[in-house]
Structure 1
Amino acid sequence: MYEYFSGSENGERVRAEARDFIENYLKPLEAEHGIDFESEPSMDLLRGIWKASREAGLYGAQLPEEQGGRGLSVYDQCLLKEDVTASGAKLAAHVLGELGGPGRVGHLFHIATEGQLESHFLPVVRAERTVCFALTEPEAGSDASRLTTTAVRDGDDYVLNGHKRFISGAPYADFAILMAVTDANAGPRGVTAFLVDFDLPGVTMGADYTPISGKRIHADIVLKGVRVPATQVLGGEGQGFFLGMSRITVNRLLHCPTMTGLAIQSLDAAAHYATRRQQFGQPIAGFQAIQHMLADMATELHAARSMMLDVARRIDNGQDTREASAMSKLFCSEKAFAIADRAIQVHGGVGLMQGSTVEWVFRMLRMYRIVTGTSEIQRNTIAKGYLKRLSGKGVQR
């Protein structure tokens, strides 16, 4: 069993409620509907889960209390997200609204207008609407300066044209916080954020691909002559890039508990299999080669979780963790994937079969070394920060 880290009294209360919700509501619901790793649940089923989670006080639990949440610290959020992911529930990501719920808008409440709060953000918190964040394009991933989606002012509207690619959560969303260029000569200051409803004329969505993570996770958004009212500009013209970057440090860290939660699934599955699988008259857990793999997996998991929670505590204390968050995202994604890889090795041929826990987790964790900033991008951030301090003030310890 992995090391148990505890949070605040409030955080532990919410964790207990989440475990109860998953065991007594979500897993029985999955069994009733035959949900497995490759299932594409109906929107009616998902909306029912979102509303039930909201009624249980979990959907949007990460938000401040004044926004309808539970006021969790970043440290408590990490523990809660890890628990939910480690539960093994097939639809675990929908409990906290990870694919389009309150966590995507909470940090934007202070810049949204009253009208935007009423029409878009508060319905997300109430599990009535869902949202995605649309930045990436076919030729613009981490480099936002290469955006080609344009927004041209026309009276009281903007006319948007462009193509957004690999947008996570888009298949579940009702609208997007979408980045478009309003001034091609202004660089990052020429990017503006828009609230784009998917029922507007000229908006189409689809995918000519199936990601490694499976169907119904990502999609493309194509805009052709889409008229968006100027009242749907979020934060003012030219502020889009900075809005997108405003939470990057925290967001990088908050992807880590999903990775460690998946790694926990891998380690548990490998350990349980090793005690059951018989070879040469004994469980393979008795072989030193298997024991060493399990030992390495447990050690790397503990190191990743410890790093993640250290960075979370520092964020809660108001410290600058730009490089530390990048380190955590880098280390957790690389080590969690290594754990998943060894889990398949322990399982042997069984682990290669589609539908097994370790095979699915392996695919998911391979994705996390790329999404939300590749490992190479994290290394760039870490090295630049270190070298800047080295050249400016000497090495600080």
Structure 2
Amino acid sequence: MDATTTPTAAAPRAAGMPPFEGSDAAREFIARVEAFIRDELHPLVAEHGITYESGAPRALLEEVWQRSREHGFYGITLPRQLGGAGFSVHDHCLIKEAIYATGSPLAAHVLGELSGPPRVGALAKQATPDQMARFILPVARAEKAICFAITEPEAGSDAGAVQTRAVRVGDEYVLNGTKRFISGSPFCDMAVVIASTSDDPARRETTAFFVERDREGFEVQSGYKTLAGQSSTGNIVLTDCRIPVANLIGEQGKGLALALGRITVNRLLHCPAMLGHARVALTDAIAHATRRRQFGQPIGAFQAVQHLLADMATELAAARALMLSVARTLDAGGEARADASMAKLFCSEAAFRIADRAVQVLGGEGIVQGSRVEFMFRLLRMYRVLTGTSEIQRNTIARELLGESVR
């Protein structure tokens, strides 16, 4: 089974998918988006030889974004006044899980998660009318791509330690610094940059700015690949990059708060992607165990393989139950800060264990590059680091449990 193979319609049930528990609107949406991926994106993948690792060129991504928007998928995460669908967090998790469970290499682009509406929806409340016209609406219409640039060589888990500087000079800000490991930067048209505006090195003050890629002093360096072999990540180097004061987002000094304002929800919304990928690994393992024969029978007849599959399905069910429980808490107005960290921690660790066992089930086929399970193993290993490492999640959980005594 190669990297572009998509599970059959029956695969989710074979992989232990429980009865659907979302709204009727979410059920209908998932049916439409699965048909879109099957009937339109999968042929594109085959025609252009797209794999998980090779990715797609910008021109093809633009086509995917526009097609998705025409079907009403691309902007569902936006506020309702911008065309959003108004789905609950619970429904959103189910939708994302279903998209990633298709196994499409273009799954991340259906809702524009690397460079589209999910990157700007939370900024709409802060944006001025000018910023809405120049930045938010072009992204919402799939005309422009945007990335979120926080991480730096010395500011990862400690996001407030950014060294990129923004100094006001008259009616402009001059930006200098390097942003590292920025998802979507290789094909972005603009970036939301979090920079320090403090005049005292001992005082942290971060501010958010829209920065257009075509400005002098804005350079994207994208000559490296991640563990998973993808090239959708790069560095942004700002060298005396001048932007107008009108590009400042919200208030000066409120940049990190703005960037992390929806961190609890956003942290949870990474979980359905992990679990969708994990379901692909489980589906492929089940298919291989049924198809592969040794000693005169399918390897799925051996108890050792059966136990691997049983453990995979059990961990997937447990992770999924935790994710949806946290989603329901958030929909009910609960804080769920620790709960979202628990979900991100457990889902990322469980998804990787599922991929690891899938490699074991596939044996030699599971360790050959080009195998979808081999890719999932590498990709899901990354999720234990991305969007807050497992250790950071444990720190958050512990602080919430211990309260003020450790703060």
Per the shorter chain, which TM-score range?
over 0.9
For residue 115 of structure 2, what is the aligned residue in structure 1? Answer: 100
Distance 2:88 2:188 in 1: 27
2:176 matches 1:181: no
Amino acid corresponding to residue 254 of structure 1 in structure 2? L
For residue 21 of structure 2, what is the aligned residue in structure 1? Answer: 6
2:269 matches 1:254: yes
2:79 matches 1:56: no
Q: Contact 2:54/2:231 (CA < 8 Å) preserved in 1?
A: no
2:403 matches 1:356: no
2:395 matches 1:380: yes
Amino acid corresponding to residue 342 of structure 2 in structure 1? M
**Structure 1 9/188 Cα, relative in aligned 2: closer, same or farther at 3 Å?**
farther
Distance 1:58 1:145 in 2: 34
Distance 2:19 2:384 in 1: 25
3-state SS of 1:167 partner: strand
Q: Which runs of 5+ in 1 are unaligned?
A: 393-397
Moved more, 160-169 or 382-391: 382-391
Amino acid corresponding to residue 32 of structure 1 in structure 2? E
2:348 matches 1:333: yes
For residue 98 of structure 2, what is the aligned residue in structure 1? Answer: 83
Distance 1:332 1:188 in 2: 36
Q: Contact 2:275/2:347 (CA < 8 Å) preserved in 1?
A: yes
**Structure 1 62/140 Cα, relative in aligned 2: closer, same or farther at 3 Å?**
same
Residue-pair matches, total: 392
2:167 matches 1:152: yes
Distance 2:195 2:48 in 1: 40
In the TM superposition, what are the counterparts of 1:209-288 in structure 2 within 5 Å?
Answer: 209-288=224-303
The TM-score, its normalising length taken from structure 2, stands at 0.94
Pick from 101, 116, 129 the counterpart of residue 131 of structure 2.
116
For residue 17 of structure 1, what is the aligned residue in structure 2? Answer: 32
3-state SS of 2:208 partner: strand
Distance 1:57 1:228 in 2: 34
For residue 165 of structure 1, what is the aligned residue in structure 2? Answer: 180
Amino acid corresponding to residue 289 of structure 1 in structure 2? A
Question: How many percent of aligned residue pairs carry the same amino acid?
Answer: 53
For residue 143 of structure 1, what is the aligned residue in structure 2? Answer: 158
C-alpha deviation, 1:187, in angstroms: 6.5
Task: State the Cα deviation string for residues 166-195 of structure 1 (Å, max 9, x = none).
Answer: 111111211111011101438775100010
3-state SS of 1:220 partner: strand
Amino acid corresponding to residue 327 of structure 1 in structure 2? M
Q: Contact 2:152/2:162 (CA < 8 Å) preserved in 1?
A: yes
Task: State the Cα deviation string for residues 253-301 of structure 1 (Å, max 9, x = none).
Answer: 0000000000000000000000111111100000000000000000000
3-state SS of 1:340 partner: helix
Task: State the Cα deviation string for residues 353-382 of structure 1 (Å, max 9, x = none).
Answer: 111110111111011000100000000000
**Structure 1 120/188 Cα, relative in aligned 2: closer, same or farther at 3 Å?**
farther
Distance 2:21 2:112 in 1: 23
Task: State the Cα deviation string for residues 286-321 of structure 1 (Å, max 9, x = none).
Answer: 000000000000000000001001101111111011
Pick from 142, 145, 152 the counterpart of residue 127 of structure 1.
142
**Structure 1 345/151 Cα, relative in aligned 2: closer, same or farther at 3 Å?**
same
Distance 2:120 2:293 in 1: 50
Distance 1:245 1:216 in 2: 25
Distance 1:90 1:129 in 2: 21
For residue 317 of structure 1, what is the aligned residue in structure 2? Answer: 332
C-alpha deviation, 1:208, in angstroms: 4.6
Amino acid corresponding to residue 309 of structure 1 in structure 2? L
C-alpha deviation, 1:38, in angstroms: 2.3
Distance 1:190 1:57 in 2: 39
Task: State the Cα deviation string for residues 10-42 of structure 1 (Å, max 9, x = none).
Answer: 211211111111111111111121222222322
**Structure 1 97/281 Cα, relative in aligned 2: closer, same or farther at 3 Å?**
same
Distance 2:140 2:113 in 1: 12
User: Over aligned residues, Cα RMSD in angstroms?
Assistant: 1.5
Amino acid corresponding to residue 372 of structure 1 in structure 2? T
The TM-score, its normalising length taken from structure 1, stands at 0.96
Task: State the Cα deviation string for residues 313-341 of structure 1 (Å, max 9, x = none).
Answer: 11111101100000000000000000000
Distance 2:293 2:404 in 1: 55
Moved more, 219-228 or 36-45: 36-45
Distance 2:52 2:167 in 1: 42
C-alpha deviation, 1:214, in angstroms: 2.0
Greater RCO structure (CA 8 Å; 6+ sep): 2
Q: Which runs of 5+ in 2 are unaligned?
A: 1-13
